[in-house]
Structure 1
Amino acid sequence: MKESAGDGTMKRDEIHYGEREMKRAEANKNTRNSTGIVPEASNRESMFKRSGLLLSSLALLFLGDCKSIHTEVEIQATPEEVWTVLKKNGAYGEWNPYHVRVEGDLIEGNTILVEVHKPNGNQIVLEPTVLVVNPNRELTWGGGIPGLFTGEHVFEIFPTDTGVLLVHREEFKGIFVPFAELDTIEEGYRKMNEALKKRVEEGR
């Protein structure tokens, strides 16, 4: 039996409708978590965070860490005299304490063999590619596995008022860079610089 609509009271179906709306509102309220975020929105946010983490991991894999070593030495000689010693890689074993053996023609695009003796006693043989041969100015070789570990080894010759400034540097990239023996590598470069200086100046 329905109530009369004219006496100001609501019909029973209107009451039931109101109860259903209240229950629906309460249910929606209960679906929110303690932070006031609806689970669907929270799931989307979580998905975006996971995607961002994945992209960061991929970037680290392909770009990795990046470190560089920079050394230099002043040599009382001409750029041509320094270049002559650097270019004559077959004689490295006579004076070079770090690159004790370098085999192959120093021609851009050519693969060479480089035997390294580090100051800490570790030895390694590398097969880099010659990247730049600019007579009297720059010699660069490099190689490795992109994303894991690569190195670009550079010798640059700059004329000065008293002779030459030789810049001997290298840039390393890859996820294994943090495990490289950068301190002992830098020490090896400095030892080579001094040996090169002695070789050039005594040979004038």
Structure 2
Amino acid sequence: MRHEIRSEIEIEAPPDAVWARLADLGGYAEWNPFITRAEGTARAGERLSLRMQPSGGRAMTIRPTVTAAATGSTFEWLGHLGVPGVFDGRHRFELTPTPAGTRLVQSESFRGLLVRPLRRSLDTGTRAGFEAMNAALRRRVLSAEPEP
């Protein structure tokens, strides 16, 4: 079974400014309500340690592998709950320049045996976590932007 969720937001700053905050995993604890602790480097092949706190759900730590990291445009990882095929998630951030700044799309594609029983939780708590993270990232980026 497959399932995907996504959330997007406009951020009034250039993609490189958004990327700087998104790729600063060590800073997540200061601002991120969804990924409350992050260790590792935003570089393809690197292993991360992420503490996820879905809205209304139980916190869990995952150790995904970065599958794509392109400065200013893409950050993606693949994680597994237990063994591959039981519950796999490919999490992706896409940054696209817009006239006003950047469109950030955060999405995750889930596959595996546990997707069907967990679907409701994904559509509520996990999606709400994405939206909270996007809004917090926007605030973080804009608070770091120099005044004109």
Same fold (TM over 0.5): yes
Structure 1 Cα separation of the partners of residues 21 and 64 of structure 2: 20
Large movers: runs of 4+ above 3 Å: none
Partner in structure 2 of residue 152 of structure 1: 90
Letter in 2 for 1:187: A
Deviations 1:154-191 (A, max 9, x none): 00000001111000000000111012221210000000
Give the structure 1 partner of residue 45 of structure 2. 109
Q: CA-to-partner distance for each residue in 1:91-115, whole Å, 9 max, x for gaps?
A: 0000000001110122211111000
Amino acid in the other structure paired with 2:42: L
Match of 1:123 in 2: 59
- Identity over the aligned pairs, expressed in percent? 35
Rounded to whole Å, the distance in 1 between the matches of 2:110 and 2:65 is 15
2: distance between equivalents of 1:106 and 1:163? 22
Aligned partner of 1:59 in structure 2 is none
Q: Tell me, in whole angstroms, the C-alpha distance in 2 between the residues paired with 1:105 and 1:203.
A: 21
Say how many residue pairs are matched.
Answer: 140
Structure 1 gaps, min length 5? 1-64
SS in 2 for 1:164: strand
Provide the C-alpha distance between the structure 1 equivalents of 2:84 and 2:16, rounded to a whole number of angstroms. Answer: 34
Aligned partner of 1:188 among 105, 110, 129: 129
1:83 aligns with 2:19: yes
**CA contact under 8 A between 2:52 and 2:61: conserved in structure 1?**
yes
Q: Whose strand fraction is larger, Structure 1's or Structure 2's?
A: 2
Taking the aligned partners of 2:33 and 2:74, their CA distance within structure 1 comes to: 21
Aligned residue type for 2:117: F
The equivalent residue for 2:107 is 169
Residues of 2 paired with 1:162 and 1:105: CA distance? 29
Q: 2:105 is matched by which residue type in structure 1?
A: V
Q: Is 1:98 matched up with 2:62? A: no
- The answer as to 2:143 corresponding to 1:202 is yes
Q: Distance in 2 between matches of 1:199 and 1:147?
A: 35
Q: 1:134 aligns with which of 67, 70, 73?
A: 70
Ranges in structure 2 where 5+ consecutive residues have no aligned partner: none
- Per the TM alignment, residue 121 of structure 1 is displaced from its structure 2 partner at its CA by 4.2
SS in 1 for 2:41: coil
Q: Secondary structure at the match of 1:139?
A: strand
| Higher RCO (CA < 8 A, seq sep 6+) | 2
Over 3 Å counting, the alpha-carbon distance change for 1:153 and 1:160 in structure 2 is: same
Q: Deviations over 1:36-87 (max 9, x none)?
A: xxxxxxxxxxxxxxxxxxxxxxxxxxxxx00000110000000110000011
